[in-house]
């Protein structure tokens, strides 16, 4: 009887060990990316990653962004039992560990450049610095910047004293050029296409002060005038006035060679905006006031 009991204990111990080994094989990794073991032995791991990027450009602007992430996790446990004849003992142990890491990064940048006339509609999203008056030498017109970043100046003394503000062609603006006369401003789209067609004519600028007109030969009551412009005083949300639109900036007075009448400060025609660089360019009762118009800081007689 004693021998049979001892044999039974040995058989039971072997059965327990076999069951423990089978349990270890049943807790494997899960395809759903995770597992949880609370007894016996279990292990699981999961990993996942994602990445994305986007880019887009609008008129020389671009932006991009990317993100990535990964996570890992593992758990393990072990159990054992043993039995011997005439006595029994049991021990169990389990351990579990998990680790996870995630990382993500994103980057984005934007850059843009434009030349020609920016949009005239709506308030300024950022008013920027307040404009100041600029009195250039007579017959010298600031005409924006060249592709290499250098200043473009149109000189009457060189025979190309007209600044041609680039018009719109297919959704972008042509660069500025200098020309001898307003008719030479061909850096733009069709004059009669209209803004909805993605085309607009170049804008000839013949002066920014009375002295530019007299250097070009105008006499009599001379004025520098923005034609077709709309005055906003102040510009919406800003602390300075702004002119929008505009088809040309011209000299008015006696045309060169017409006569030798003494030069005085004249007045622009009704509906035009008088341009100045100093108070002497404005008629009595108005003040030369720093303002903005398209890509320029200008003076307006207000």
Euclidean distance between CA atoms 27 and 36, whole angstroms: 9
Residue 122 pLDDT more than 90?
A: no
In this prediction, residue 194 carries a pLDDT of 54
Residue boundaries of the structural domains of the chain: 140-301
- pLDDT of 88 > 60? The answer is no
Q: Is the pLDDT of residue 145 over 60?
A: yes
Q: What is the mean pLDDT of residues 85-111?
A: 40
Question: Which tens digits make up the pLDDT trace of 185-221?
Answer: 999 987 665 556 788 999 999 999 999 999 999 999 9
Compute the half-sphere exposure of residue 114: CA atoms within 13 Å on the CB side of its CA.
16
pLDDT recorded at residue 195: 53
Query: Given this model, what pLDDT does residue 89 score?
Result: 42
pLDDT in tens, 67-81: 333 434 443 443 443
- 267 burial (CB, 10 Å; 0-12 / 13-18 / 19+) is middle
Task: Over range 153-160, report the average pLDDT.
Answer: 96
């Amino acid at each position: 009887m004693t021998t049979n009991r001892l044999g039974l204990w040995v058989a039971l111990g072997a059965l327990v060990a076999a069951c423990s080994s089978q349990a270890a094989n049943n807790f494997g990794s899960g395809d759903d990316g995770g597992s949880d073991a609370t007894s016996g032995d279990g292990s699981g791991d999961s990993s996942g990653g994602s990445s994305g990027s986007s880019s887009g450009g609008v008129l020389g602007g671009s932006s991009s962004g990317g993100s990535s992430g990964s996570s890992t996790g593992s758990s393990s446990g072990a159990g054992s039992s043993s039995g011997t004849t005439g006595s029994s003992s049991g021990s169990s142990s389990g351990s579990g560990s998990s680790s996870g890491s995630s990382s993500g990064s994103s980057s984005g940048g934007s850059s843009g450049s434009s030349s020609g006339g920016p949009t005239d509609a709506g308030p300024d999203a950022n008013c920027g610095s307040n404009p100041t008056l600029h009195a250039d030498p007579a017959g010298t017109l600031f005409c924006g910047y060249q592709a290499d970043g250098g200043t473009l100046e149109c000189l009457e003394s060189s025979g190309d004293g007209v600044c041609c503000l680039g018009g719109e062609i297919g959704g972008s603006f042509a660069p500025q050029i200098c020309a001898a006369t307003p008719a030479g401003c061909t850096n733009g789209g069709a004059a009669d296409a209209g803004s909805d067609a993605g085309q607009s004519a170049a804008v000839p600028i013949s002066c920014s002060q009375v002295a530019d007109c007299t250097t070009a030969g105008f006499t009599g009551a001379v004025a520098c005038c923005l034609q077709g412009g709309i005055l906003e005083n102040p510009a919406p949300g800003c602390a300075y006035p702004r002119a929008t639109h505009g088809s040309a900036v011209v000299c008015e007075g006696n045309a060169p060679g017409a006569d030798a009448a003494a030069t005085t400060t004249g007045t622009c025609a009704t509906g035009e905006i008088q341009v100045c660089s100093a108070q002497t360019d404005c008629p009595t009762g108005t003040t030369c006031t720093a303002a903005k118009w398209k890509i320029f800081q200008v003076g307006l007689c207000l």
